[in-house]
A = this chain, B = another copy of it.
C-alpha cells in the first residue's frame, strides 16, 4: 500500500507530510477505556412464522503452516485468500449451531465444539445462547447433522451431563450406523479414530434414547432431513419451511473453510471422508440452490452465515443476506 493511499487518499504526499492538527486540543476530558469486546455473536431471522437464531460457537484460528486443502498446495490456497482480502498466514474457522422456534417447539441443530475446546476460542454456544436469551433447559429437540466433534461435543457439559437435559436427540440413522460400528472403526484410517471414540463418549450412555432418523423425513413440523452425504456417510442438511418461505441449513456441504470451497468446489478438507461424493453433493446442491435462489445457512460460513449461492463460472459465489436489525 502506498504512503499516498495509507495517509491521504486524495491529497498529495507533500501536503500529507505537511498536514498538522487543525486546532490545539485540550487534554482528553475523560479518556474512555477501549471496550475490547465485540457485540454478542447471534443473529435472528424469520422464515415464515418460524424464528431462527444463528448462534456462533466461536472462531478457531488455524495456522497455515500446511495447506488446509488435501488436493491443493498452500500457495494456491494463499492466492485465493489474498484475492479475498483475507490473511494468508491463518484461517478463521467458524461454527454455527441454529435454534429454531416453531412457535410450539424449540429446536437446536448441532451443538458446537463443547467445553473441551474453550481455550481455542470455541465452545461458546452456552455463552451466546445466554446472550440470545435462550435457556438450554427449554430446548425440546436437538437435531444432529453428522458426528464430527464440532457438531456433537456440545451435547455434554464439562462434567459429562447432558447440556440440553429436556431435549429429544435426533441423529441421522446412516451416521449412527457408521460411527457406532466396531468393525468400521477397526477398518477406518487413523484420521477417523477420534470421531469413533468421541461418538462413544457422547452417545454411548444414551444409545437407546437417541432417535435415529431417515433422509426425507419431516423430523419436526416444517423441518425435513436432506441427504447430503459425502462429507460423512450420513451427513444431513435440513430444510426449514414455514408458509411460503424456506431456508436450507446446509451443515458442512462446504466444510471447514467455506470461502475456499465456494471458490473451488473440487477442493477437499481433511474431514471430507468420501471426496468424490462430497464434491458431487456440493455441486448438485449448489446448482439447485443457485437456480431456485433458496436462502442457505452454512455451519462454517462466516457469521451470520446466511445468504445465497450464485454460480461464478464453474465455481460459486456466496452473497450474504443484508443484516436486519428489526427481524
Contact = CB atoms under 8 A, between A and B. Distances in A.
A161 interface: no
A106 interface: yes
A262 B11 CA distance: 24
A304 interface: yes
B226 A10 contact: yes
Contact of A324 (B59, B218, B285): B59
B241 A15 contact: no
A92 interface: yes
Contact of A39 (B22, B132, B246, B293): B132
Nearest to A22: B217
Main secondary structure of the interface of A (DSSP, over half): loop
Interface stretch (A26-34, A66-74, A195-203, A263-271): A26-34
A44 B41 CA distance: 12
Contact of A292 (B5, B103, B166, B321): B5
A35 B323 contact: no
B6 A241 contact: yes
A24 to B, nearest CB: 11
9 contacts: A6-B294, A11-B227, A22-B217, A23-B168, A25-B105, A28-B105, A37-B133, A38-B325, A85-B307
Interface of A: 1-2, 5-11, 15-16, 19-23, 25, 28-32, 34-44, 51, 53, 56, 58-59, 84-86, 92, 101, 103-106, 121, 124, 131-135, 137-138, 140, 166, 168, 170, 211, 213-221, 224, 226-228, 237, 239, 241, 244, 246, 248, 284-285, 288-289, 291-294, 302-304, 307-308, 319-327
